[in-house]
Structures are given as C-alpha cells and as structure tokens.
Chains A and B, each alone.
Chain A
Amino acid sequence: MRMALASCRRLAADAPIMHQGGTGDVSKRKDGAERDSVADPALWPALMRRAQDGDAQAYRLLLGSVLPAIRALVRRRVFDEALAEDVVQETMLTLHRVRHTYDPARPMMPWIAAIAATRAIDGLRRQGRVQRRELWDETVLAMELDPDAARRMEAFAVQDEVESLLARLPARQRQAVEMVKLQQMTLDHAAQATSQSVPALKALLHRAFTRLRQDGAGENG
C-alpha cells in the first residue's frame, strides 16, 4: 500500500506542470480556442473542493491536469492504444459520477488510481470476453454482410482465369473461341462473321483448345 502511494505521488509529480500559480488561470491556444492550463498536483484537492461546490472552471482545469496522470496509470495495465484511450474516458466519466466521494482532506492520487485501476481491469475483462466470443474471418464477415458474395467472388475468380488463358492465344484463335464458346454462336454464324469456311473455323478451334488444355494443365497441375 505504501509502495502504491509512493508510485502515485511519483506519477503526480511526473505530470507536466505548465502553471504553478493560482487556480483557474487560462491560456490562449494558437488557434484562438481557450484551454485551461495544467495545475500543480498539490492544488488538485483544492480544485476538487471548488468543483464539488459547482465551480466549472476549476473542474475543467482539474480534469485537464489529471488527464496525463490517468493516462499514465492506465497505460501501466493496458497496452492496447485504442483500449487505453477508452479506459481513460471511462475513468474520467467515473470520476465525474463519484466526484462527491472525494474528501479534500485526503491525497487525491490514491482516489484517482483506484478508479483508473478498476476501469482498466473492467476494460481488459471486456476485451477478453469480446476476443473469446468473436471470430475475425474476412470470408465469414463478407458472407454475413452479403450472402451472395461467395458466389460472386468465385465467378470473378473463374472469369479472371479464363481471361488470362484466352490472352495467351493468337488473336484469331481467341476470337473463334469467344464467338463459339462464350457468345455461343453457331459454327455457321461464326464462320460468316469471320469470313472463313466452317472446316477452317473447326481447325482453328481445335488448335485453340489444344493450346488451352496445355496451358490449363501447366497452371493447375
């Protein structure tokens, strides 16, 4: 317990101090927005007393000042960046909800540290539960979002493969295959469209299929 208290004090001392004078002073940011300066940890109990009495400016200054300490406390337990920031927010909300329980006669860091530790453990437990129950599978996710996705993805894959095989054929052979097999034209119509005889078209198709079989066997084993 003594060690925990000492570590809290060290953390409070480590928090950056921009302003050590009276409370409630505000500095102007470069963008013109008003932002409270950071108060000395020794002033936190007095600020909280004023906040408990309803002084919003003192409260704003206090919350801005304790934020680095809360973040440091949370980061000791939570290593995931996004979760740590969630836990920091949860800690601030809890601190707000139970602000009346703080006794200004006591040091503030043990009070904040207890809240931060509890919220960090809650956050880790929640993350653990989610990780145990959820599966991250892109195919399954795509199927959930669009049940027809698998069929379409398969069709795309087949189309890609056919296009790559056809691209290797000479232009005349490719044209013959496309007309007869893909556009499903009759041999007569295809022969007329390409100004050649039907036997010549059949010979062209034969050579094309022989080549396609060789290429397909080479790729797919």
Chain B
Amino acid sequence: MAERVNHELLIDRLSDSLRPVRRPLPAWLRALGWMALALPCGLAATRAIPRYQPDWGASGMAWAVVEIALSLGLGLAVVVSAFDISIAGRPLRAGRVMVGLGLVWLAVCVGNIAVSPWHAVRLGAGLYCYTFMMLASAPMMPLVVLALRRTRALHPGRSLAVAGIGIAFLVSGLLGFCHQGHLHPVDFLMHLAAGASIVLLTTVLGRRFIAA
C-alpha cells in the first residue's frame, strides 16, 4: 500500500491565505432581492417591442389571472430552490410540491385553451409571445448567473437549469400582463419553446462562471 500523501503543506497554505468571508443570506431572501431587481429589468427590456394591453374585464381573463399568479409564485419558489441547491449538501426541497403546482399550472393552461374560441393558425402566431419572453429573460439570465456566482455550485448545470425554469415561469407571469385572456395552442407551444430556450441558454451561459 502506497504511503499516504502529507497534506500539511496544503493546509498551511490554505490557512495562511485565509481571509474573512461573508456568509450568504438565506436563499429566500436572496431570491426576493434578485426578483426585486430582475423583474423591473425584464419588464424594461420588453419595451423594445409594442405591448398588448389586455382588457381585464373580458371573458376568459379569470384563467389568465390564475395563470399569472401561479407562474409568478412558482417562479419565485423555483428560484429560491436554485439558490438553495447551489450550496453543497442542500437537496432539492419541496420538489413534489413544485411539480404538483407545475401540473396545476399546466392544467390551467390546457383549461384556458379548451374554453378559448378556436381560430385558424396565422403565419407568425406565437412569435410575439416568444419574443416577449426572450426579451424579458435577457437581463434576468445574467443576473441569476451573477447571483449564483456568489455561492458557486458543485453541480452548476443542475442549479442553472432550475434557475432557468424559475426565470421561464417568471417571464411567463410577466407575459400574462401583456397577453389576451384566451390562449391558442400555438401560442402555448411558443410559450413552452421560449421556456426551453431560456433554460438552455441560462445553463450554457452560466455553467463556466458558477462552477465551484
């Protein structure tokens, strides 16, 4: 059996280079602070395209209101989880609850599609929604990478993917304020496509920056 390596030199070097560090705030507090900065930035970014003003008194808006509330709530919960799991030894908590809420959100979307009046697919349908979501997420993605860089992550891909899902839900909530109450299947598919793009971009862009 080979002799064990003496790590005392490394311990000495690490101890000599020690500087005081500040512990990060609790994940929920960091997520709230991040949201307070990221949501206005995301909303400001969408000024690049004309905004649709929904008629809040129109039929079908109740579905939209429930969808917005669920999206924003889920987005916040998922971002809190992303900040939490980026720290070593912290498992994903309340994963089942979030998956359950996600299924409720999906059911609300499907319900909205079912009660919405059917119309033929137009060329470029859903493009506005896709553009809106990508524009809104554009400042949020670097902000979440910066926030995660504070703690770094042992599994950067996992933390960023979860953060990306959180951003996708948040921008979906923002989109609700600029979207008609009725939901068309093509619109919904483009929402999902934008969400997938956000998760992919967040993961790819931030991976190198937050790896521990």
Contact = CB atoms under 8 A, between A and B. Distances in A.
Given A63-B15, A100-B21, A89 B10 contact: yes
A53 B20 contact: yes
Given A81-B2, A100-B24, A64 B11 contact: yes
A16 to B, nearest CB: 14
A89 to B, nearest CB: 6
Interface string B1-12: 110110110111
Contacts of A44: none
A114 B88 contact: yes
Contacts of A88: 5, 7
A52 B20 contact: yes
A114 B24 contact: no
Given A92-B11, A97-B152, A59 B18 contact: yes
> Which of B7, B15, B152 is most buried by chain A, counting CB atoms within 10 A of its CB?
B15
Contacts of B154: 94, 98, 114-115, 118
Contacts of A63: 11, 14-15
B151 interface: yes
Contacts of B23: 52, 100-103
Contacts, number: 88
Contact of A98 (B8, B10, B11, B151): B151
B119 to A, nearest CB: 50
Interface in B77-131: 87-89, 91
B18 A111 contact: no
A64 B154 CA distance: 23
Contacts of B19: 54
A59 B24 contact: no
A65 B2 CA distance: 22
Contact of B18 (A51, A82, A93, A97): A51
B115 to A, nearest CB: 42
A37 to B, nearest CB: 13
Given A94-B212, A106-B89, A115-B212, 8 more contacts: A63-B14, A63-B15, A88-B7, A94-B154, A101-B88, A101-B152, A113-B89, A114-B154
Interface of A: 1, 35, 51-57, 59-60, 63-64, 67, 71, 81-82, 85, 88-89, 92-94, 96-103, 106, 110-115, 118
